Structure 1
Amino acid sequence: MGRLTNNRLKSVFKKYSKEERRLVSSIKMIVGTKPFNLKPYQIAVQHTSVAKSVKKGFKESNERLEYLGDAVLGLVVAEYLFKKFPFKDEGFLTELRSRIVSRDSLNHVARTIGIPQIVRFDKKRKTPNSHKSLYGNALEALVGAVYVDKGFNTSRKFIVQKLLKPHYDLEEIINTTKNYKSKLIEWTQKNSKTPNFEHIQTIDKGHFKEFIIQIQIDDEPIAKGHGLSKKKAEQDAAREACTILEIE
């Protein structure tokens, strides 16, 4: 049985094209293990701008894997912080997790580990504001691909050993709180625009409440933020708006 499995694996590898072998090598370097099934990884690095319709107009891009990877990443980070900080309350843990999985953080880590070298997108359609979260989204899709290919334990190991520990200084994150709201307001003033922070929802989660704030600039909705207080939700929304508007 083992020999049959090995033969099947060899036959699969013999069918790999040069481009596929390069992707396998990149995945091994980034994730730490070779793929069992290359297909989900090929989808993970395929942006919607180059995706082709496969069934009734459905495009096989990395968006579905991004959705899955976002959930897996959030769970693993939550579990990691829960164990690492046993005496911190949910507010602390939620804010720290939000900082770790923020779009700008994921974009930065994605660039550092080599996602730009493997992601495929239509460069002709790129504008200053398009594809702004391209690499961070692809990283989430890659997490989703690992989960589909090898399950939760390998996904957790990838996230903790290859992403969290090498690329995040938790003490620095804790001690450095950026005032994104002030940064956003300063930007709107320079550009003669009017920001508005609107409280749109409060979610009762039993022993605590989660607030949702939406930011509008010149009456146009830009971003939403979540937090265990309105102030924290405003900061979260402002952080997301700064990412979307590419405010340094």
Structure 2
Amino acid sequence: MLSEASNFWGLFKSGSKEREFRKAVEQIIGEKPSNPLLYQLAFRHTSASKETNIGGFRESNERLEYLGDSVLGMIVAEYLFKKYPFKDEGFLTEIRSRIVNRESLNQVARKIGLEKLIQFDGQRIAHNRTSMYGDAMEALIGAIYLDKGFRFTRSFILKKLIANYFDLDAVIQTNTNYKSILLSWAQQEGKKIVFEIVQENGKHHHKEFVAQVKVNGEAISTGGGWNKKKAEQEAARRACESLEIKSTQ
């Protein structure tokens, strides 16, 4: 049985529901979509991929996600470069990372209503523990870029997303990169930090990784997540709590 989101998606087969889909996309991006098929593909999670006639290739939003990730990163990089002319490369890289990381994109995707449009297989993925909302956001940006061009996409990212959903002062002041905090602490204290993936649970579309943090060879904490980076961040967060390490920012 598919999820409610998948069932909702299936309703778009009728003409009236297709119009509703186009209207939903228009409300999100601020203009009527010229190529609705691009947006339909942008909201098709890999768990609901469809096989094509080309060598068994399964079509999902992964290729659009790849494109959107590059477009988003470049536009945010340009924005920060111009906004902070006297900040160094390290600062710009870190702030861009906080804006475009999966957690931030997951939250923004829900706020603009992508959660209701994503097609996924509820038997193959636990949607409450996945990055599919952020993935869909990047795929949407890829679709907008192909459909509307660079100038429109840039305006969408800066005026619809950055301006409405990111408080840059708060982003700068809040460092949630616990791995970075832990490594900085270790460098100051002369400690050796090692991250290891010690366990993998589940199958491809419903997989959890467990990471472990060692300080000078001693296991300090473990943390789980749906990808290795997320697991390491959670393990680092718990290590920071255990060692009572706080960000110096």
TM-score (norm 1): 0.69
CA contact under 8 A between 2:179 and 2:233: conserved in structure 1?
no
CA contact under 8 A between 2:108 and 2:165: conserved in structure 1?
yes
Secondary structure class of the residue paired with 2:22: helix
Deviation at 1:239, TM superposition (A): 6.6
Deviation at 1:83, TM superposition (A): 0.9
Distance between the aligned counterparts of 1:153 and 1:159, measured in 2? 10
2:30 corresponds, among 29, 32, 40, to 32
Secondary structure class of the residue paired with 2:196: strand
Paired positions, count:
193
Query: What runs of 5+ residues in structure 1 fail to find an aligned partner?
Result: 1-14, 185-195, 199-214, 224-236
CA contact under 8 A between 1:197 and 1:216: conserved in structure 2?
no
Moved over 4 A (4+): 219-223, 242-245
Matches within 5 A, 1:1-248: 17-54=15-52, 55-127=54-126, 132-178=130-176, 180-181=178-179, 215-218=195-198, 240-241=230-231
Q: 1:58 to 1:37 in 2, by over 3 A?
A: same
CA contact under 8 A between 1:181 and 1:238: conserved in structure 2?
no
Amino acid at match of 1:64: R
Secondary structure class of the residue paired with 1:123: coil
CA deviation string 1:183-233 (max 9, x = no partner): 99xxxxxxxxxxx955xxxxxxxxxxxxxxxx423277878xxxxxxxxxx
Distance between the aligned counterparts of 2:103 and 2:47, measured in 1? 21
Secondary structure class of the residue paired with 2:123: helix
Distance between the aligned counterparts of 2:28 and 2:59, measured in 1? 23
CA contact under 8 A between 1:103 and 1:240: conserved in structure 2?
no
Distance between the aligned counterparts of 2:15 and 2:123, measured in 1? 26
Q: 1:62 to 1:97 in 2, by over 3 A?
A: same
Deviates more, 1:118-127 or 1:55-64: 118-127
Distance between the aligned counterparts of 1:183 and 1:24, measured in 2? 44
Query: What runs of 5+ residues in structure 2 fail to find an aligned partner?
Result: 1-12, 183-191, 201-208, 212-226, 239-249
Distance between the aligned counterparts of 1:244 and 1:58, measured in 2? 35
CA contact under 8 A between 1:180 and 1:238: conserved in structure 2?
no
